[in-house]
Amino acid sequence: MEDNVDWRMDQWRVERPDIDPTPMGVVARIQRACRLLERELRDHFATHDLQLWEFDILGTLRRSGHPYRLTAKQLVESSMVTSGAITNRIDRLVAREMVTRELDPLNRRSVLITLTDRGRDLIDGVVVDHVDLEARLLAKLSGDDQERLAGLLRQLLNSLGDHAPGNPLKTDRPNA
């Protein structure tokens, strides 16, 4: 079965037979899949009164383990946004009482962001629905196909410089 990208690639083959549009097909499919998946996720999170970035920050704090606290720098490192964007986002989550912000008593230049009970309760409920939604979105792919696709995408991301940073969520600090 052909998709929208096949149609566009066929047009390129007619208009520019001197180029091979195969790379365009791969990148365009990744971009389209990303947009379509993000739309589904946005709509889903909206039913929980959340935005995608809020889920990302709350989820990052939750999966960091007890006491669900990271420095602002660790949050920046675990996401793909600037420190200014994190500051703005943390401000909004503090206003919603989902996180707290305090100066690190061991390093006054560092800010600690901690998931509140309210934030933890929200993320714990939403993550179950989130995983169910993602399973439904991928249901047309077999388990083997999902693993193969994940492996190929991992290989692509690594080739683009997106390597695992170790574990930025864990810290050497006791009770941090």
pTM of the predicted protein model: 0.82
In the structure encoding, which two tokens stand for residue 59, read together?
A: 């989820």
Distance CA 38, CA 31 (A): 10
For the segment 44-92, what is each residue's pLDDT rounded down to a tens digit? 999 999 999 999 999 999 999 999 999 988 988 887 677 778 889 999 9
> 53 and 133 in one domain?
yes
> 65 and 21 in one domain?
no
> 99 and 31 in one domain?
no
Q: Please check whether residue 108 lies inside any domain of the structure.
A: yes
Q: Which residues partner with 6 through β-bridges?
A: none
Q: Please check whether residue 152 lies inside any domain of the structure.
A: no
Q: Please check whether residue 155 lies inside any domain of the structure.
A: no
The predicted structure's pLDDT at residue 31: 96
- Domain containing 55: what range? 49-141
> 122 and 43 in one domain?
no
Query: What ranges in the chain are assigned the alpha helix state H?
Result: 4-15, 22-46, 52-63, 72-78, 83-95, 117-137, 143-159
Helix (H) or strand (E) holding 110: strand 107-115
- Strand 99-104 relative to strand 107-115: parallel, antiparallel, unpaired? antiparallel
In the structure encoding, which two tokens stand for residue 103, read together?
A: 């100066």
> 56 and 8 in one domain?
no
The structural domain count of the chain equals 2
Residue 125 is part of a domain; what is its CATH number?
1.10.10.10
More confident residue, 76 or 164: 76
Distance CA 66, CA 8 (A): 49
Distance CA 42, CA 73 (A): 26
> 86 and 39 in one domain?
no
Distance CA 12, CA 43 (A): 34
The predicted structure's pLDDT at residue 174: 44
For the segment 109-130, what is each residue's pLDDT rounded down to a tens digit? 889 999 999 999 999 999 999 9
> 122 and 97 in one domain?
yes
Average pLDDT over residues 131-139: 97
In the structure encoding, which two tokens stand for residue 7, read together?
A: 């149609």
> 100 and 70 in one domain?
yes
